[in-house]
Structure 1
Amino acid sequence: MDMDVPSHTEAYLVTNVVTKAVWVIFQLFFYALRPLFHKPKPSGYWEFINLFIQIALDATLIYFWGWKPLAYLILSTFVGGGMHPMAGHFIAEHYVFKLDQETYSYYGPLNLLTWSVGYHNVHIGKILTER
């Protein structure tokens, strides 16, 4: 199963306007953390290198310019990947319409603004429907 497709638990819990709004606002975090719960992989050398570099860059940013630039970057992530029309591709590409196709592509004009992110790798395969 494609880890970008929301889990059965998410589908079960996110059922009304309020929970859908919260889910969309925080969808990048669900998107990033879902693999850690469903198909966890052991951390390797490069993950620790990446973590060290990210902490060092954040600490440098805070040291030289304070907390506001870091807050700006974090809030930009919420806006750009959450409740924003251009972030709708996260949902549109991974909305299951047919049980044997997990993802879809978008071929419209918004690809000019999103560096062709709509040309998505379409995953076709058997999806387990057991709950």
Structure 2
Amino acid sequence: MRLLRYLPLLLLLVVGLAVAGPAQRALPRAQDNWSAAIRWGDFDGAINLIDPAIRAEKAPNSIEMARYKQVQISTYHDVGASADYKAGLAVRDIEIGVINRNTLAERTVRYRETWRWDPQAKAWWITSGLPDLWAND
């Protein structure tokens, strides 16, 4: 008898999880993959997570990629995020600690990630591209 009393609540929970769908479950995984790639200096790998249309249009050239090899990332902190799963859009504000490998000087850069859900690929793509680690220079 007690179980029947909680059945509507359980059904509501199951329906809520189904409505959230793959987009909501996939976003944290995509953001973790992106964060790890940037944090560990795998900028070549990070490029694979950029929206394919943007990647084709604005792929970094060899000089730009060489510039990323001149820095080391010391911190990568999420300082705010929001997502609209129905619209398939998400935003995350990031604070990145950047160390210049030549001078060993460290500085902090703010960066806003923008994400787009691709229902056909069932994947989140970053649309903001690689972070501009020289924005404050």
Q: What band does the TM-score fall into relative to the shorter chain?
A: under 0.3
Counting helix residues as a fraction of each chain, which structure ranks higher? Answer: 1
TM-score (norm 2): 0.27
